[in-house]
Amino acid sequence: MKIVATVRSLNESKNIDRFCQCYSWVDQILIADGGSSDDTVSMALKYENVHAYTFPDKIWHTDKIFSNPRGKHVNFLIDWAKRWKADWMIFDDMDCVPTLDLQKWGRNIIEETPSDMIFAYRMYVIGQDEYFPDANIPGQSLWAWKIGVPVSGDESDPVVFTMKIPDTSRLNLLHPYSLLHYFYPDEETARKKMELYGITGDAGGNPVHPRNIFGKVEKLPEWAKWR
């Protein structure tokens, strides 16, 4: 069975090594880079199972700031996985990785499930060792699906991203088979993201600090590690 992990990237040099290491167990990693000005792509191509493609579509918000149309970006990855003749496709964010348990057993889970799609808990991590437990919702995040299942990115709004997910059989993974989303590594990153979202229109053009959305913070459980 051929399993392909897919991901979008844009100036992800801080996250690329972690992502590629955590998905070393798949057959191929396909990266659709949206126009990075750092060394994201060259770093990724150091890994034997990684292929990168420059996704050309841009939405210019100022003369220097752009974003990529999200739905179209994801649909490119879906079509690319099909061209690789994948049996299953994983879709993840560059700052999100599977836990050690999901890395160890991910291939077995995919190969043995009778379901068409696999959903996972997404743990929103602060720094390296804390998370927002109230945002940790079962069945929240589509992680992988069988090629041919009509999953797609909604292209009707190029900024606000939603997935079109069919009503078909699904497996909801339980902890410790989870995703660690390092979306808030420090206050500087959070500030820059809110400024960018305010310009691009992401988060409705009125971004709110994560602490004001997700509430309380707890230490990550002992099993919630990626290495």
Distance separating alpha carbons of residues 88 and 82, to the nearest angstrom: 9
How many CA atoms lie within 13 Å of 220's alpha carbon, on the beta-carbon side? 23
Q: Extract the tokens encoding 205.
A: 């053009």
pLDDT attached to residue 138: 81
Q: What are phi and psi of 97, to 5 degrees?
A: -140, 155
pLDDT (tens place) for every residue of the chain, 227 residues total:
999 999 999 999 999 999 999 999 999 999 999 999 999 999 999 999 999 999 999 999 999 999 999 999 999 999 999 999 999 999 999 999 999 999 999 999 999 999 999 999 999 999 999 999 999 888 789 999 999 999 999 999 888 889 999 999 999 999 999 999 999 999 999 898 889 888 888 866 678 888 888 889 999 999 999 99
**H-assigned helices in the chain:** 16-22, 40-44, 70-83, 100-112, 187-200, 210-214
> Strand 179-184 vs strand 59-60: parallel, antiparallel, or unpaired?
unpaired
pLDDT attached to residue 203: 67
pLDDT attached to residue 213: 87
The pTM for the full model equals: 0.94
Question: In this structure, which amino acid lies at residue 8?
Answer: R
User: Cα dihedral sign for 104, 224, 151, 56?
Assistant: negative
Question: In this structure, which amino acid lies at residue 1?
Answer: M
pLDDT attached to residue 23: 98
Q: Extract the tokens encoding 30.
A: 């396909």
Strand spans (E) along the chain? 3-9, 28-33, 50-54, 59-60, 66-67, 88-91, 96-98, 117-120, 122-126, 130-131, 141-146, 152-153, 163-164, 170-172, 179-184, 218-219
Burial call 56-72: b when 16+ CB within 10 Å, e when fewer: eeeeeeeeeeebbbbbe
pLDDT attached to residue 59: 94
Query: 151: which DSSP letter?
Result: -
pLDDT attached to residue 204: 66
Q: Can you name the CATH fold of 3-219? A: Spore Coat Polysaccharide Biosynthesis Protein SpsA; Chain A (3.90.550)
